[in-house]
Each structure stands twice: as structure tokens, then as C-alpha cells.
Structure 1
Amino acid sequence: MKLTIHGAAQQVTGSMHLLQVGQYKILVDCGLDYDKERSLQSNEDFPFNPADIDVVILTHAHIDHSGNLPTLVRLGYNGQILCTPPTADLTELLLFDSVSIFMSKQEKNRKYSKRKGKFNTNNQPLYLQKHVMDTVERFVTIGFNKPFKITDNIELTFTPVGHLLGAAAAIFRINDDGIAKTIGFTGDIGRKGYPVLNDPEPLPPVDYLVTESTYGGRVHTKGKTVEETLVEVIEKACIKEPGRLIIPAFSIGRTQSLVFSLNKIFSSGLLPPVQVFVDSPMATQSTKIYRKHHHLVNEVAKDFYDQQGDEFEFENLTYIENIRESKQISNYFEPCIIISSAGMLEGGRIQDHLFYNIQNYYCTILFIGYCAKGTLGHRLLRGDPIVHIKDRELAVYATIKQTDVLSAHGDHEDLMGNVLQQDKTKLKNVFLVHGETTSMQAMADALEADGYPVVIPEKGVVYEL
């Protein structure tokens, strides 16, 4: 049995892991790599022939885990993609949205080329809608904790890990030439007590564990709940000062948890009413998917629904339907909260809201998630006084804030706890992926101090298991 980490090796994005059992090849995740040192088109340079892959396993829908699947299909992959039912529904939304982003960039490139007289081939779309449709047709859904025979020698079980509706760790039980072996891929691990989502379940014992390490060495803020943190920010940004609060949030997952938290705040009278705009068509669609799979939300959300109704609807909440309504928000002069995608500010309607508000002294921008290096969000968080938005250099006068109470990733303690559940005398290796090198090293040091064998894999290196 062989393991090769082809993506998210000593970086966060682009998860892609190849597990080979004899001649049978399993690809776990196939995400887009947003490393700014590479062009987007480099994502089609697979280090293997896509047609040689026998099956793909998708841990969850986020684009850094799913976003390169249509490229894989376009270049020859013709097998199944195994995932949970919510992951299939949410991934379909995200992949079609990726096409829209690709086409928008191509149009900007076309206009630039017309002005400058040269064409930048780096903005050609990786894939089109037809490739997404071909990809979606390959989804085969499997429920949580239901063993699935991939072959006579390979069995797959999805274990819930929180983080996002439908997110799962992929646990393989393998007969490798008569030797029983087990290996787990965590995908992204959530945190306990997260709004809407259930807590991650303990993983079964495995021989090898491939685990994310995004927050290795970092511990989330303690002492304040999500609601307490939001009340404090909203009170200052929208009530004590008649301003507006802009919250960049990923449309799928983060927005639903944020909306539910705001619902609890306003329905319980913790704050006077403030108008809330959710300006993301994809957030509206993904919320429908959350309703469709409502049996998978946590007990707090279910109880709220039973007692007070839809947790994703309340009196002061407006879901923006079209671009005309989105532009009208600029003419809304009362205090308000604007939730818009994307969370790292690399696309979506959030850029329009930033364009018109980044120089507004009465605007607060609250980041509630991770921002990768090289993104506009990262530049704002590090304090750049001038940023580039929509072909303009704009001075930053808005107040920039950040909180991790709504981070959907488990912190160092959560990640460590997930590994420490394993018997160190039986666990042969822990492979750390999906993290910056400093985070990986911090987690590796802690695990080794506890007596666990750890590998920080290099990209493309084959490990014999």
C-alpha cells in the first residue's frame, strides 16, 4: 500500500491524496490550489494520468477539497465520486459557482486585452458548465457510519467530523495481500459546540492517520460565546455608532451558522432590531440544502426550529435576490449588517461592498474565518493602508476586526484530541497535511512529545505503508 500527498502538502489549499492498494488507485479529495506562486491553470497539471484513477473519495464540499474535480473529469477520469448526500448537493453549487468566477475573470481579461493589445492565457477557465455536469453525474452518495465495499479488498466508512454539513473523515479497511490495514483521512475537522453542526465524532482505531493541521499551534479564543462576541461588535458598529457592519462569510456553512446566531440574538432581545442583508445567491441556495438535510443539524438547531421556527429566517433578515437589489444596499443609510461572500474577499459581491465602504469611517469589516496568504482578506488583516479593489487603489479607513469564534476548523487542542484518541502503540504514522509549515511543526512537536510517530510529508513523495 502506498500513499502520496499531491496537494495541501505544507500548505492549506489544494487537498489531493493518492492511496494505491496494489494496482488500485484511490484519490482522496481533488481541490483547487490557490497558491499565488502558481497560476490557476497549473491545477490541470496532474502528477498522474486522471484516467488511471479508479475511484475518488470526497470528504466535503469546500472548493479547496472539491474544486478541481471537473478538471480531473475533463482530462479523462471516468469513475465514481463517493461522498455523503449533503456533500454532493453543496459541491454541485460550489462547482457551478467556480465556473461563473472563471468566466468573470476571462471577461475581465478580455477587456484588459482590448486595452493593452495582449491576451493573458492564465485566465482561461479551467472547466465549463458541461464539465461540472459530467462531474455531478459521477457522484455516488453514502450515509454516515455505513460501511461501503469499494472492492472485495477495500471498505470505506464516512465518520462525521463537523466543520460543514456532510463533512466526513474517510476511513478505509484494506486487505493488502492478506494483511489487514486501516487508514483514515480526516478531511477538515470541526469544533465542538459550533452553531448548527454536530460535534465531530471520534475516529475508529487506524494504523495510519492523515490529518489536517490548519490551526496547529493555535488555540481559539476562550471565554466568550459566539453570541456574546457578535453582540459586542454589533453594539459598537451599528448601535452606539450608526454605522454598518460588513461580514465576509463563505456562502456555504459559515453564513448559515452566522445567520442562526444572529437569529438567536435578535429573537431573545439581546439587541434592538438591526437590518441584516445576506447578499449571496449561493448562500440562499445552500440554505435550502441545509433545510433539505435538516435531520443532520445539531440538537440546538432542531430545538430552536421546534419552538420558534426556521432558524435561518427572522424579521429583520433579507436575502438579496439579484444584482439590482445588491446595489440598492449602498443607498440604505440606516445601520445594517451585510453578510456577503467570499470569505477571503477573492470574488463575489463582497468586493462591491468593500469598494463602496472601505473608505467609510463608519464601516466595520469583521472577518470570521481563515484568510490564506496572498488574498485581499489577508492584506487587510495584516494592516495594509492601501488595497487594490476592482482596478482601483483605495485607502483603508474602515475599521478591520477579526474573531475566530465562528471558525469552522478545530484548533490545536481539537486536532490533538482527535489524534490522542488513537492508541500510540498501534498507530504506525500520523501524516500532517492542510496547514502552513509553522502550524504543522507545532502540531508535530506536540504529538512527538506525547510519543506519536509523525511525518510532515513532502509533495509527491511516495510513502510505503
Structure 2
Amino acid sequence: MKLTIYGAARQVTGSMHLLDVAGYKILIDCGLDYEKDRSTLSNENFPFNPGDIDVVILTHAHIDHSGNLPTLVRLGFNGQILCTPPTADLAEMLMMDSVSIFMNKVHAGRKRGGKGKHHHHHSSHNQPLYLHKHVMDTVERFVTIGFNRPFRITGDIEMSFVPVGHLLGAAAAVLKINDNGEEKSIAFTGDIGRKNYPVLNDPEVIPPVDYLVTESTYGGRHHTKGKTVEEVLVETIEKACIKEPGRLIIPAFSIGRTQSLVYSLNKIFSSGLLPPVKVFVDSPLASRSTQTFRKFHSLLNAEAQDFYNKKGDEFEFDNLTYIENLKDSRDISNYFEPCIIISSAGMLEGGRIQDHLFYNIQNYYCTILFIGYCAKGTLGNRLLRGDPIVHIKDRELAVYATIKQTDLFSAHGDHEDLMNTVKQQDKAKLKQVFLVHGDPQSMEAFAAGLEAEDYPVTIPEKGLTYEL
């Protein structure tokens, strides 16, 4: 049995791991690498022949885990893609959204290229990575499996999905393998959630395995203690929208983060903790994915279900408006009362959030609250590090808005959560822990924590094959 980490090796995005069991090739996740430009062809240069992959296991829908699947299919993969039912629904939406982002970049590239002699070269460089057709071809390959239901991939390989929180449908993939007569087991955590997160259930314990491939996003870092999500929101809204007649812009991923945020605002306003403030959710993708959260309502946590039974829909309340079309989105600029605007994308690399930033980044009465991780090289990261001037929509703009950040909406477990995930394993059985999906500093901090407790740990090099 051989393991090769082809993506999210010593970086956060682009998760892609290859497990070879006596020539049977299993790809775990196939995400877009944000640290390459996601509209370039660099994401299609797979280090293996896509047609040689026998099956794909998808841990969850986020684009850095699912977003390169249509490229894999376009280039020859024709096997099954195993995932949970909510993951299938949400991944389809996110991949379709990626096509829209690709096409917008193509049009922007053609505009910049003009009609001169360099036009053809420029537009070919901006060719979309895949099209709607490739997404539909990918969706046809989904085979959905419920949580904690063993699924036999081959006579020698059985897999189960264990809930890990983080996102609706997110799972660790646990494989039991007969490798030439020897019983072996390996788990891929995907992304690990945290306890008491709005809407989502706590991660379940991953059963004992020989090998554990775990994310390390928050290695060495601890989430803020002492304040609740609601307390931070009340404090921020009070300052940005009530004491001052301003607007609060919250960049949020449409799927997962937006639903948790809307539910938290619902709790605040429905219990009278703040006077009413207009809330716009400006993301068609958020509206569509909220329907999926309603569809799989039985998978939400007990608190959300209790709220639903007592007060009704968690994702709907007075003064909340879901914006669908572009005209209504642009009209928000002419809404001069204090308001909260929730829009995607969370790292500010595309979507309607760029319009809201364009019109508000120089507004002293605007607060921008980041509630998630922003990868290096993204506009969100540049704002968080305090750049005084940023490039938005072909303009250089000075930053006068107030920039704030909270990690309380991070759907990733912190250092303590990551350590506990490993500590729940049987130390006598566990042969090796492989760290993926984190920047080098986080991985090293997590590795140091594990080594101090005498766990065998490896930070894999990209493309290096490990005999298990």
C-alpha cells in the first residue's frame, strides 16, 4: 500500500491524496489550488494520468477539496466519486459557481486584451479550467453514502464516512484494507470541525487506525476563548450600525459560513438583544445552499433543531433579505440606512463582495468584518495584513474602512481540537500521522505538539510516495 500527497502538502489549499492498494488507485479529494491562480491551466497539470484513477473519495464540498474534480473528469477519469448526500448537492453548486468565476475572468481578460495583436494570446491564457458540461459529467459520477455506513469499494477495501462537523455533510474517510493478506487501516480527516459551532454537530471520534492523514490548518493556534459568537456580533453591530449610522460588510463563504452567521443573527434579533437592523444576504449561491441545509435539516445540531421547533426557520427572520439578481445587488449601494451586508466570496477573490468593497472601502463609516481564513495572495489577506492601498476591479483604492477579524466563525478545529483528534486514536495501533492542509508554521507547531506526546509524525513532501 502506497500513499502519495499530491496536494495541500505544506500549504492549505488543493487537497489531493493518492492511495495505491496493489495497483488499485484511490484519490482522496481533488481540490483547486488557490496558491496557483485558479483560472490558469496550472491546476490541470495532474502528476498522474486521470484515467488511471479507479475511484475518488470526496470528504466534503469546499472548493479546495472538490473544485478540480471536473478537470479530472475532463481529462479522462471515469470512475465513481463517493461522498455523503449533502456533499453531492453542495459540491455541484460550488463547482457550477467556479465555472461562473472562470468565465468572468475570461471576459475580464478579453476586455483588458483589447482587439490588438496580443488579444488571442491573452484570452487563451485565461481559458476556463472547465465548463458547465464538465461539472454535469462530474455530478453523474457521484455515489452517495450515509454517515457510518460501511461501503465496500472492492473485495479488499471497505470505507466508512465519519461525521467531522466543519460543513454540512463533511466526513473523515476511514478505510479498512486487506493488503496482500495483511489487514491495514487508514483515515483521511478532511477538515475537522469544532465543538459548539452554530448549526453543525460536533465532530465524532474517528475509530482506531494504523495511519492517520490529518489537516493542520490551526496547528499552534488557539481559537479565542471567553466570548461567544453572539457577543462578538452584538459588539460589532452595535458599534458599526447603531452607535454610528454605518454599514457592516461581512465577507462569508456562501456555503456553511453564511448559514451559521444568519442563524446567529436570527438568535440575536429574535431575542431582542439589538434593535432591528436591515440584513442583506447578497449571494445567489447562499440562497440555493440554504435550501440544502433545509433539505438535510435532520443533520443539523440539536440546538438548531430546538430553535426551529420553538421559533421557526433558522435561516429566515424580519429585516433579512436574500438578494437574487444583480440589479437588486447594485441597489444596496443606494440604501443609506445602517445595514449588514453578507456577501461572497469569503477571501474576496470573486463574487459580489468585490462590488461592495469597491463602493465602501473608502467609506469611513464602513466596517469590514472577516470571519474566516484568507489564503496568502488573496485580497482578503492583503486587507488583513493592513495594506493601505488595494487593487479592486482595475482600480487602486485607499483603505479607509475599519478592518476587523474574528476567528469564532472558523469552522476548523484549533490546535487543541487537532491534538484531541490524534489522542483519541489507539497509540499502540497508530503507526504514523501525516500532516496536510496547513501552512508550514502550523504543521511544525502541530508536529511538535504530537512529538512531545510521542506520536510518530511526518510532514510529507509534495509528490513523495510513502510505503505503508
Q: Is the 8 A contact 2:39 2:129 kept in 1?
A: no
Matched, 1:295 2:290: no
Q: Return 5+ residue gaps in structure 1 as ranges.
A: none
Change (3 A) 1:283 1:38: closer
Partner of 1:256: 259
Partner of 1:59: 59
Partner of 1:40: 40
Matched, 1:154 2:157: yes
Tell me, in whole angstroms, the C-alpha distance in 1 between the residues paired with 2:134 and 2:428: 46
AA in 1 matched with 2:52: D
AA in 2 matched with 1:13: T
Matched, 1:24 2:24: yes
Tell me, in whole angstroms, the C-alpha distance in 2 between the residues paired with 1:270 and 1:39: 44
Note the aligned Cα RMSD (angstroms). Answer: 0.9
Following superposition, the deviation at residue 40 of structure 1 comes to 2.8
Partner of 1:400: 403
Q: What SS does the corresponding residue of 1:272 show, helix, strand or coil?
A: coil
Matched, 1:268 2:271: yes
Tell me, in whole angstroms, the C-alpha distance in 2 between the residues paired with 1:237 and 1:243: 5
Following superposition, the deviation at residue 416 of structure 1 comes to 0.6
Q: TM-score, normalised by structure 1?
A: 0.99
- Percent of aligned positions that are identical: 79
Following superposition, the deviation at residue 117 of structure 1 comes to 4.0
The residue correspondences of 1:161-172 to structure 2 (distance < 5 A) are 161-172=164-175
Q: Return 5+ residue gaps in structure 2 as ranges.
A: none
Tell me, in whole angstroms, the C-alpha distance in 2 between the residues paired with 1:188 and 1:116: 46
Tell me, in whole angstroms, the C-alpha distance in 2 between the residues paired with 1:102 and 1:263: 34
Q: When the two structures are aligned, how many residues end up with a matched partner?
A: 465
AA in 2 matched with 1:137: E
AA in 1 matched with 2:48: F
Change (3 A) 1:423 1:307: same
Q: What SS does the corresponding residue of 1:452 show, helix, strand or coil?
A: coil
Matched, 1:184 2:170: no
Matched, 1:230 2:233: yes
Alpha-carbon deviations, 1:412-445, whole Å to 9, x = none?
A: 0001100011122211000000000000000000
Change (3 A) 1:381 1:30: same
Q: Is the 8 A contact 2:39 2:127 kept in 1?
A: no
Tell which deviates more after alignment, 106-115 or 45-54. 106-115
AA in 2 matched with 1:129: H
Alpha-carbon deviations, 1:332-357, whole Å to 9, x = none?
A: 00000000000000000000000000
Q: What SS does the corresponding residue of 2:114 show, helix, strand or coil?
A: helix
> Could you tell me which of 193, 196, 219 is aligned with 2:196?
193
Q: Is the 8 A contact 2:240 2:366 kept in 1?
A: yes
Tell me, in whole angstroms, the C-alpha distance in 1 between the residues paired with 2:38 and 2:148: 38
Partner of 1:359: 362
Partner of 1:379: 382
Q: What SS does the corresponding residue of 2:4 show, helix, strand or coil?
A: strand
Alpha-carbon deviations, 1:41-74, whole Å to 9, x = none?
A: 1111001000000000000000000000000000
Change (3 A) 1:345 1:38: closer
Tell which deviates more after alignment, 33-42 or 315-324. 33-42
Q: Is the 8 A contact 2:36 2:43 kept in 1?
A: no
Q: TM-score, normalised by structure 2?
A: 0.98
Partner of 2:315: 312
Following superposition, the deviation at residue 34 of structure 1 comes to 1.1
Following superposition, the deviation at residue 122 of structure 1 comes to 2.9
AA in 2 matched with 1:75: L
Q: Is the 8 A contact 2:370 2:404 kept in 1?
A: yes
Q: What SS does the corresponding residue of 1:172 show, helix, strand or coil?
A: strand
Partner of 2:100: 100
Segments ≥4 residues shifted beyond 6 Å: none
The residue correspondences of 1:270-285 to structure 2 (distance < 5 A) are 270-285=273-288
